[in-house]
Amino acid sequence: MDIGIAYYPEHWPVERWDSDFALMAEAGITVARMGEFAWCRMEPREGEFQFDWLEHAVELAAGHGIRSVLCTPTEAPPPWLSTNYPETRPWTPEGQPYAIGSRRHCDPASPAFIHFSDRITRQLGERFGRHRHVIGWQLDNEVGAHTHFVSTSPWMAAKFRNWLRERYGTVEQLNEAWGLVFWSGEVRQWSEVELQTTPPTGMNPAYRLALHRFGQQLWLDFLKRQAEILRPLCPDQFITHNIAWYGEQVDVWQLAEFLDVVGIDHYPRRAETLTAVGDLYHAVGRGKPWAVLEMGADDGRYTTVDEAGPCRGWLTTALLKHALAGAKLASLFRFMPAPSGSEQYGGPGLRDEAGRPSASVQACARARQMIDQLQPVLERPRKAEVAIIFDADDLIFQELQPVSGHRRVRCNDYPRELFEIHHQLAQRGHRPTFASLNDDLSRYRAVIVWNKTLIRPQQAEALRKYVRGGGRLLAGHLLGYLTVDGRRTCAEMPCELTDVFGCAVSEMLRVQPGMAPRLEVDRQMVEAAHFGVTLEPRGAEVWASWAGWQGEHDAAATAHDYGDGHAVFIGALLGREGWDAVMPRVMTALGLATQNPITPHPALECFPERGCWIAVNTTHETATTDIIGRHRDMLDGQAVQDEITVPPWGLRILEPVS
């Protein structure tokens, strides 16, 4: 794995560039990512292209053994473009053009913006497409992050209505698909469909979902245009994009189809998401390489929710975890804090605010040395028996229409639930992957479809076929509650799958303050985390019941044989304590055995990787726990038996010794 860094030569005097690259080399940096927001320097005036400064930076970097990934600069159009061609500006929800002065100041429906974006992309490709020191290209920057997808410009509205016509055919079919009779919203002609208005009360969630899908497709098409321009000009260089890690604003499965390397930006709040996110994007590429294009550059950026203060050593650990997860590149953001603008307080990189080398230099150098040591381990193949379904539509819809109750289920709850399941399985010795319901599921022993409300008939049939053929399926609460357009299926839940699970939803529960419903699992009480349903068994075995509310003793979880397979349904959202309680029962139902040799410890995250056991300390205190069997630490060669000690923010890589 290469270690890279984001560098903005346009921010600094040219006299210091060489010493900056020298410090990168000292830290073990082998890739510099440049050009991301530099359109005003690349084309200071319309049609006047200046790339000599960028080539000088590329050559200086190469002199220190550092190759370059260049970026198309289209997220930050220069003021001359916005001023001379006002139709390129995005419009606010109130229908006014945004003022100049920020990034993402562009409208992907504007023919003028597309023209100028195509031109700067082509100019870059022609200048650097065969440059021996340029290894790849990042398209634009974090499409969908920190901004709305759709502006309210007239040309955007026209494209939206055309998109709706192609999707629904007639306004009558649109009315039916969205359920617009609610609140007297039925339209009689396409011109009555307005674009991203700000209503006095709640907007129809089906409309908002369609608007998001439309805007998402515009940006995907925009990125694909850039890839198609660059590919013939840059035949030996890879093409990537830095997706915001949670996948919130874009369908990552679609985006990955036209990338050579699946790239993500990742700034975690919880330490274990480093592992889960790596597995997600390793899966998204369906065999393609993946890379971290942005991660914290200061040794102390990664902390748990409950920990504060610098986490010395964690940057080294984070880089090692990305390497173990199969990343092609892990690139730090950034070399040092920006000298101006809105990112002046981003924390130190390889240099601090005063320009002095920081602790991150040695942290990266240690990681480089350790990654080289682990090369025999990194070359081992990876295989997963369990797949967790990740669906970008469900992620965004749960933000657009949170589940009712006194606590809102916001968008980040969707990946958090999935990552918690990933964490629970990994702690018990199984390293799951992620998948789409469009994938071939037969390759997996078990499939988990969790927190998923939107479902297509063909997806339900795929799950039926999977279980009937011998697969083991775990699903829960709102599976199949909504159609693909985001309206109620108005059918028994889980929609089209009641026979597979041997049960049907009989009542939906909305947890109110003081209600505190609990599940009784093997005589143990488990508090539900916000939402649930009661189940009517139809041949299924009941292994958990509701307790402590008016529906006491009603079924809360069931298991059922179907065909040659087995299907488990849990009628509640579960937090960490809930999963801790039910996971042993779930693993038995899925045919999985617990096989972690390391005794659980609250400070340690433990998971299997490429024939080894990884133990990561995510606290400020040294952690010691028991371990079964004889092992050898792959980093220092020491024998480990009976007991394992992990320093604060440290990592041990243990290989069993026979």
Q: How many CA atoms lie within 13 A of 342 on its CB side?
A: 3
Domain annotation covers residue 174? no
**CATH code for position 27:** 3.20.20.80
Exposure letters 246-258 (e unless 16+ CB within 10 A, then b): bbbbbbbbebbeb
Domain co-membership, 416 together with 367: no
Nearest residue to 437 via CA among 497, 502, 505, 488: 497
| 625 burial via Cβ count (<10 Å: 0-12, 13-18, 19+) | middle
pLDDT at 202: 76
pLDDT of residue 405: 41
**Quick count: other Cβ atoms within 10 Å of Cβ 483?**
21
**Same domain, residue pair 25 and 70:** yes
CATH number of the domain residue 434 falls in: 3.40.50.880
Q: How many CA atoms lie within 13 A of 292 on its CB side?
A: 34
| Alpha-carbon torsion (478, 482, 487, 493), positive or negative | negative
Burial of 285 (0-12, 13-18, 19+ CB in 10 A): buried
User: Which of residues 319, 350, 378 is at a domain's end?
Assistant: 378
SS (H, E, C) 356-394: CECCHHHHHHHHHHHHHHCHHHHCCCCCCCEEEECCHHH
* Residue 83 domain-assigned (yes or no): yes
Structure tokens at 357: 């080398």
Tokens of 521: 């699992």
Give CA–CA dist 68/79, Å, rounded: 27
Closest CA to 334 of 317, 353, 320, 321: 353
Ranges of residues in the chain whose predicted pLDDT is under 70:
146-149, 196-197, 245-249, 269, 300-310, 346, 402-412, 509-516, 529-531, 548-552
- 235: buried, middle or exposed (CB in 10 Å: 19+, 13-18, 0-12)? exposed
Domain membership flag for residue 165: no
Residue 599 domain-assigned (yes or no): no
Of 326, 357, 378, the one marking the end of a domain is 378
Query: What's the Cα-to-Cα distance from 359 to each of 300, 349, 542, rounded to whole Å?
Result: 10, 9, 55
Same domain, 424 and 529: yes
CA distance 9 to 13: 8
Phi-psi label, residue 387: left if phi above 0, alpha if psi -120 to 50, beta otherwise: beta
Q: Give a yes or no: residue 222 inside a domain.
A: no
Together in a domain, 371 and 393: no
Question: Do 446 and 326 fall within a single domain?
Answer: no
Look up the CATH number of the domain holding residue 610.
2.60.40.1180
- 102 part of a folded domain: yes
540 and 580 together in one domain: yes
What gap in Å lies between CA 441 and CA 142, rounded to an integer? Answer: 30
Residue 331, domain member (yes or no): yes
pLDDT of residue 412: 44
For residues 473 and 563, state if they share a domain: yes
Total domains in the fold of the chain = 3
34, 135: one domain? yes
- 491/515 same-domain check: yes
The residue segments making up the domain with residue 623 are 604-656
pLDDT in tens, 500-539: 999 999 887 665 555 667 888 888 888 776 667 889 999 9
Q: Are 505 and 531 in contact (CB under 8 A)?
A: no
Q: Are residues 129 and 260 in the same domain?
A: yes
Strand partners, 541: 559
Question: E-strand spans in 511-611?
Answer: 518-521, 524-527, 531-537, 541-547, 555-562, 565-570, 604-609
What's the pLDDT at 304?
53
Q: How far apart are the first and last CA of the chain?
A: 29
Same domain, 374 and 420: no
Closest CA to 297 of 327, 269, 318: 318
Answer yes or no: is 161 within a domain: no
The last residue of a domain, from among 565, 589, 613: 589
Q: What is the pLDDT of residue 408?
A: 44
Whether residue 309 is found in the same domain as residue 370: yes
DSSP state of 192: G
